[in-house]
Chains A and B, each alone.
Chain A
Amino acid sequence: MTRRVAVTGLGAITALGQDAIALAEAIASARCGIARHHDLPAPGPREAVLAAVTGYEPTAHFDRRQLLMLDRASQFALIAARQAMVGVDLTGRDRMRCGAILGATLGQTTLEDCYRALYAESAIRLPPLTVPRVMPNAPASQVAMAFGLQGPCFATASACASATHAIGLAGQMVRAGLLDLAVCGGADASLTPGTLKAWEALRVLSPDGCRPFSRDRNGLVLGEAAGMLVLEAWDQAVDRGAMIHGEFLGFGMSADAGDLTAPSSDGAARAMRAALDDAGLRPAQIGYVNAHGTATRLNDRTEAETLARVFGEHLAVLPVSSSKSMHGHCLAAAGAVEAVITVQALSRGLLPPTIGFTEADPACAIDCVPNRARPTLARFALSNSFAFGGLNAVLAFGAAP
Chain B
Amino acid sequence: MNELPPDVTDPRTAEILAILAQETSLPVAQLRPEATIEELGIASLDLTQAVFEIETRFGIEIPVVADRPSGSGAEFTTIGDLLAHVMATLNRAGQYGTA
Contact = CB atoms under 8 A, between A and B. Distances in A.
A215 B74 CA distance: 11
Contacts of A216: 68, 70, 73
A262 B44 CA distance: 8
Nearest to A297: B73
B75 A203 contact: yes
A351 to B, nearest CB: 25
Contact of B43 (A203, A218, A262): A262
Interface in A320-360: 359
A207 B64 contact: yes
Given A201-B48, A218-B66, A297-B74, 17 more contacts: A200-B64, A202-B48, A203-B75, A205-B64, A207-B66, A215-B70, A215-B71, A215-B73, A216-B70, A218-B64, A218-B73, A260-B45, A261-B45, A262-B44, A297-B72, A297-B73, A361-B71
A208 interface: yes
A297 B73 CA distance: 6
A208 B52 CA distance: 22
Given A261-B44, A262-B43, A203 B64 contact: yes
B51 interface: yes
13 contacts: A203-B48, A205-B64, A207-B63, A207-B66, A215-B73, A218-B68, A259-B45, A260-B45, A261-B44, A261-B45, A262-B45, A297-B74, A298-B44
A219 interface: yes
Q: Which 4 A-B pairs have the closest CB atoms?
A: A297-B73, A207-B66, A203-B48, A207-B64
Nearest to A200: B64
Nearest to B73: A297
A246 B72 CA distance: 40
Interface string A252-280: 00000001111000000000000000000
Interface in B38-82: 43-45, 48, 51-52, 63-66, 68, 70-75
B64 A217 contact: no
A359 B73 CA distance: 12
B73 A217 contact: yes
Interface of B: 43-45, 48, 51-52, 63-66, 68, 70-75
Contacts of B66: 207-208, 218
Which of B64, B65, B70, B71: most chain A Cβ within 10 A? B64
A201 B44 CA distance: 12
Contact of A201 (B52, B71, B72, B75): B52
Contacts of A208: 66
A246 to B, nearest CB: 35
Contacts of B68: 216, 218
Contacts of B70: 215-216, 359
Interface in A189-224: 200-203, 205, 207-208, 215-219
A24 B66 CA distance: 31
A216 B36 CA distance: 19
Nearest to B68: A218
A298 B66 CA distance: 16
Contacts of A260: 45
A202 B70 CA distance: 22
Contacts of B65: 218
Interface string A207-251: 110000001111100000000000000000000000000000000
Interface string A267-304: 00000000000000000000000000000011000000
A217 B65 CA distance: 12
B94 to A, nearest CB: 20
Contacts of A297: 72-74
